[in-house]
A and B are shown apart, each in its own frame.
Chain A
Amino acid sequence: MISKRTLLGSAVGFGLVAGLSTSAMADTITVATVNNGDMIRMQQLSPQWEKETGHTIEWVVLEENTLRQRVTQDIATKGGQFDVMTIGTYEVPIWAKQDWLVPLENMPDGYDADDILPSIAGGLSVDGTLYAAPFYGESSMVMYRTDLMEKAGMEMPDEPTWTDIAKAAEAMHDGENEIYGICLRGKPGWGENTAFLTTMANSFGARWFDMDWKPQFDSPEWKESFTTYLDLMNKYGPPGAASNGFNENLSLFQQGKCGMWIDATVAASFVTNPDDSQVADSVGFTLAPNKEGVEKRANWLWAWSLAIPAGTDAEQAAKDFVAWATSKDYTEIVAEKEGWANVPPGTRTSLYENQDYLDAAPFAKMTLQSIELADPTSPTVEEVPYTGVQFVAIPEFQGIGTAVGQALSAALAGQSSAEEALAQAQSITQREMSRAGYGK
């Protein structure tokens, strides 16, 4: 980051009055962020903050995986290229424990940190201290075609089980006309199929590790969960599902080729947008399913959050910006300029008490309910030694999660059986964990 400390002369910011000169320390902060609708909106609205404070922002927008690699490398080597980084619930606990992040204490007056949804704050805190401010939060839920359900004479329950999902998929499936009962992620990757399959496993009572960090892929719960997935996809899934990720399924759903899709709540605004979606007016939402009798559901929790790397030389300006972008006032600025439906969702309790918002976003309640149901500190039925719902917040997980995802994806592609895939996942995880020194 190039932080130019320049004495602001008379002509900038507040001091446009002729003849008067104010002087204030102005910083240039570099903000690294991802390319998604809410973040781009923040970029477009930020001149207002620049005008109010006299600071300037340099933006670095990158694709999610590139950004993750780029900021991790910078923070690990103390490269100092960024003052504000957009990171997720996976990175925050790991980085905070390494003392890489500035704790977000002493936020400006009126920030109201207690208003942040407890499950989101839990995922971004270490020992009760917040290390990143949530910009938008998401969970996952079932999106389904109301017209197809009606045609089949069925009704989607508010709290479906996997049996309900299988019945609905069967009823809506019409392979000859390219309408597939259910679309789920199959593309390998820790943030792709592994994320989904982990939440699905949670909803069957399975877990990644026991309290001694021993992998649990050989448990009957994992087997039941994974065979249910394969069964659903083989019978009612689209062809070539082993290479479908979020975007591929979004495209299929928008073209009316999926009866159901279980994925990120953020997709709700895409599939209900008539400009992009052919089925915009016939989409229903319901909670992610569980197995009968299991208290956890298959919904994850993720929050894109703004964090400040330790060692930045513009800490105050960075903190000001983070506070501004994640404040209640910011949501009002967005609402005023772009409408309530475009406000970043899933971070503050007050937003879900705002009637204007609830009226404008039909999926709001479902999003809130899904987020509240996901608990990163207790993701599944039994106790676990890690935090994270659809991931395990340890540095080794990116590698392990992707390797496991590849093994499980191969079973969906028909290259191996469920048993073989799970055995492979077990041995990969076992090997990597003992290499990394866990469970000793």
Chain B
Amino acid sequence: MARSVTRSRKIVNTTIAWAIGLIIFFPILWTVLTSFKTEAEAISSPPSFLFFDWTFQNYEAVQERSNYFRHFWNSVVISVGSTILGLAIAVPAAWAMAFVPGKQTKNILMWMLSTKMLPAVGVLVPIYLLFRDMGLLDTRTGLVAVLMLINLPIIVWMLYTYFKEIPGEILEAARMDGATLRSEVTYVLLPMAVPGIASTMLLNIILAWNEAFWTLNLTAANAAPLTAFIASYSSPEGLFYAKLSAASTMAIAPILIMGWFSQKQLVRGLTFGAVK
């Protein structure tokens, strides 16, 4: 009897989970479906779900008009570059905060997080002027720097929570055995924190990939990533929903595939510490 209750509960839970999952995923699915419709079909009402004439014409049109690969490569460089740079700064910072906290550590953490509370547009003009004077406008270097800075508080916070889970005694033992600070971090701390670091990395790559304020405002032709590629297909005077959907699908496909393959890491990292 008890077993059947569990099973029916399982079925209910699974159904609910699937339903929520589908609701969350539906806009993406709809974008993908629309990208295979003609422009007329894309706006038809009632909308057709699966039974329409599938066409690749939007992908051809997008391919013909824009240089997808250049935007894609810029996105890769910017998101991976800013994440790696961010980790290089955040690992030592989080180590210090987790294992040798001072009186002000909590305040510093809060202060770092508070920078995320300011609307980005508030500092647009100062940053634009700085970039102009430093020759960083429309460069990938500039974007790597700025995306690293805006994501740094999140990286530090995430790593700090993961590091806190690691018993300080293990590090102490390593020190007793004569490990230098560097080898303590490299050989003891980092291997233990791999799931946490991996999920931080993945999450930040996704955040940087989707960032659409700074990447649109600080680029023109050379460093423009996929966000600018999508923006070039949006139009308030003309119905180009199918082409816009095709461009969006092409822009999210790489990150979606990456997310799919690394979901185990992502989930493991995100729940790391939560289940103890």
Contacts and interface: CB of A to CB of B under 8 A. Distances in A.
Contacts, number: 102
B221 A30 contact: yes
B40 A35 contact: no
Nearest to B236: A64
Contacts of B217: 69-70, 73
A238 to B, nearest CB: 11
A247 B222 contact: no
Interface in A133-149: none
B119 to A, nearest CB: 14
Contacts of B125: 73, 77
A275 B40 contact: yes
A62 B240 CA distance: 14
A82 B220 contact: yes
Interface stretch (B173-181, B201-209, B226-234): B226-234
Contacts of A70: 216-217
Interface stretch (A53-61, A108-116, A154-162, A227-235): A53-61
Contacts of A43: 65
A80 interface: yes
Interface residues of A, number: 44
Majority secondary structure, A binding face: mixed
B125 to A, nearest CB: 7
B237 A58 contact: no
A73 B124 contact: yes
B128 A77 contact: yes
B39 A276 contact: yes
B137 A79 contact: yes
B6 interface: no
Interface in B174-230: 216-217, 220-222, 224, 228
B63 to A, nearest CB: 13
Interface residues of B, number: 32
A64 B231 CA distance: 9
A36 interface: yes
Given A2-B138, A35-B240, A73-B124, A79 B43 contact: no
B10 interface: no
A2 B136 CA distance: 11
B85 to A, nearest CB: 24
Nearest to B126: A77
A175 interface: no
Interface stretch (A249-257, A353-361, A424-432): A249-257
A247 B45 contact: no
B73 to A, nearest CB: 16
A396 to B, nearest CB: 18
B44 interface: yes
A34 interface: yes
A11 interface: no
A66 B239 CA distance: 17
A46 to B, nearest CB: 12
Contacts of A254: 40, 43, 239
A78 to B, nearest CB: 7
A270 B239 contact: yes
A376 interface: no
Interface in A14-47: 30, 32, 34-37, 40, 43-44
B238 interface: yes
22 contacts: A1-B220, A35-B240, A36-B235, A60-B221, A60-B232, A62-B216, A62-B231, A63-B235, A73-B124, A73-B125, A77-B125, A77-B129, A79-B128, A81-B220, A82-B220, A191-B236, A247-B235, A247-B237, A247-B238, A251-B45, A270-B238, A275-B38
Given A63-B235, A70-B217, A270-B239, 15 more contacts: A35-B233, A35-B238, A40-B65, A58-B222, A61-B66, A62-B231, A63-B231, A63-B234, A66-B231, A77-B125, A77-B132, A255-B43, A255-B44, A255-B45, A276-B39
